[in-house]
């Protein structure tokens, strides 16, 4: 892996090609964003932007040929490359993973507010979007079951959509950071991730968001809270990795933790929030 990554860092055309390939194949979106993150982390946002621009020039005629929509290249630019470059540049300058991720979450929450300001009533926007999608797929008006499901999902889609964008950017950033450590600082990413802890003010905002998401009606506060609160799943993962490593437990504990993650998302989020105040890593890492 290190040889391939070193080749990407030496050859700008190779980096452009891999970024374009990752954007062209939906299941490889993470590869595209991670290369952008690696280049930006090592050489700065200008070099990252040059790689992204080169990939966009490659993709423009390909999207036109394959999809008949060359402007579709704007999708990976807006949804993956720009958010990843923002996070990577903040991390490069601050040398603080927690600060970079907090910045990303705050920007995402501001994006939620801007979406509300732009559309006024996001629920109506999402219902129309879902109905248009159903008509395109089914070739006619959607049935009552679809209408009922759309009316239940639409009020929360703004927060879920922005959380998904943030999650993609964070995954690409972490992968790029790991690759950077593989090339220039072996073992550095592991230590950095094990120490990931967000600020207490951010944890208070996360608690408010979790409360709003669970008890308040759908709306701006609930959606913004979903964005901020969701990031604490990552802190819970950092706690799990650090405790398992420090106590010398078998990797099976981590596998089990990841398996129950989708089933216990809210309690695991609370674990990450509580760690900002309790510091489970220090407490649980002490010898029994």
Q: How far apart (Å, rounded) are the C-alpha atoms in residues 34 and 126?
A: 30
Name the residue ranges covered by the structural domains of the chain. 1-94, 96-288
In 3D space, the residue among 49, 165, 158 whose CA is nearest the CA of residue 105 turns out to be 165
Q: What is the DSSP letter of 70?
A: G
What DSSP character marks residue 72?
G
Which of 96, 259, 231 shows the shortest CA–CA distance to 169? 231
In tens, the pLDDT along 7-58 reads: 999 999 999 999 999 998 878 889 999 999 999 999 999 999 999 999 999 9
pLDDT of residue 220: 82
Summary mean pLDDT of the chain: 88
Higher pLDDT, 225 or 180: 180
- pLDDT of 14 reads 94
- pLDDT, one tens digit per residue, over 197-239 is 999 999 988 888 777 766 667 778 888 888 888 889 999 999 9
- Whole-number Å distance between alpha carbons of 252 and 262: 17
- pLDDT given at position 213: 66
Percent of the chain scoring above 90 in pLDDT: 52
DSSP 239-265: HHHHHHHHHT--THHHHHHHHHGGGSH
Spatial neighbors of 93 by CB under 8 A, at least 6 apart, are none
**Residue 287 above 60 pLDDT?**
no
What is residue 73's DSSP assignment?
G
- Rounded to the nearest 10 degrees, the angle between the axes of helix 122-138 and helix 144-153 is 150
- Residue 63 pLDDT: 85
- Range list of H helices, the chain: 2-10, 12-24, 29-43, 45-66, 74-76, 82-94, 97-119, 122-138, 144-153, 157-184, 188-194, 200-215, 220-230, 232-247, 252-260, 265-278, 280-284
Q: How confident is the model at residue 147 (pLDDT cuts 50, 70, 90)?
A: confident
- Cβ atoms 138, 189 nearer than 8 A: no
Per residue in 110-141, pLDDT (tens digit) is 999 998 888 888 888 888 888 887 777 766 66
Can you give the pTM of this predicted structure? 0.91
Q: Sorting pLDDT into bands at 50, 70 and 90, what band is 240? A: very high
**Distances from the Cα of 163 to the Cαs of 108, 169, 200, 238, 249, in angstroms?**
8, 10, 21, 19, 32
Here the tokens at position 200 are 């207490």
Q: How far is residue 288's CA from residue 25's CA, in Å, rounded to a whole number?
A: 49
Is pLDDT above 70 for 267?
Answer: yes
The answer to whether residue 92 scores a pLDDT higher than 80 is yes
Residue 47's contacts (CB-CB under 8 Å, 6 or more residues apart) are 39, 40
DSSP-derived letter for residue 67 is T
């Amino acid at each position: 892996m290190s040889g391939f990554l070193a080749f990407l860092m030496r050859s700008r055309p190779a980096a452009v090609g891999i970024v374009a390939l990752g954007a062209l194949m939906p299941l490889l979106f993470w590869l595209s964003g991670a290369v952008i993150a690696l280049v930006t982390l090592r050489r700065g946002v200008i070099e990252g932007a040059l790689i992204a621009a080169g990939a966009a020039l490659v993709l423009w005629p390909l999207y036109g040929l394959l999809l008949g929509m060359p402007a579709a290249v704007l999708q990976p630019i807006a949804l993956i490359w720009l958010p990843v470059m923002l996070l990577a540049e903040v991390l490069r300058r601050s040398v603080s993973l927690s600060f970079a991720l907090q910045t990303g979450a705050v920007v995402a929450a501001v994006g939620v507010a801007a979406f509300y300001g732009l559309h006024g009533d996001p629920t109506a926007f999402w219902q129309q979007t879902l109905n248009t999608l159903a008509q395109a797929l089914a070739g006619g008006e959607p049935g009552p079951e679809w209408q009922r499901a759309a009316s239940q999902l639409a009020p929360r889609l703004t927060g879920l959509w922005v959380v998904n964008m943030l999650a993609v950017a964070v995954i690409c950033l972490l992968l790029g950071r790991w690759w950077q450590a593989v090339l220039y600082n072996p073992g550095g990413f592991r230590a950095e991730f094990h120490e990931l802890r967000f600020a207490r003010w951010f944890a208070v905002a996360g608690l408010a968001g979790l409360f709003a998401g669970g008890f308040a009606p759908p709306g701006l506060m609930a959606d913004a809270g979903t964005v901020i609160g969701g990031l604490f799943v990552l802190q819970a993962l950092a706690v799990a990795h650090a405790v398992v490593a420090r106590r010398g437990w078998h990797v099976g504990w981590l596998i089990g933790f990841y398996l129950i993650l989708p089933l216990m998302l809210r309690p695991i989020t609370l674990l990450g929030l509580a760690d900002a105040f309790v510091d489970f890593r220090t407490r649980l890492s002490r010898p029994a």
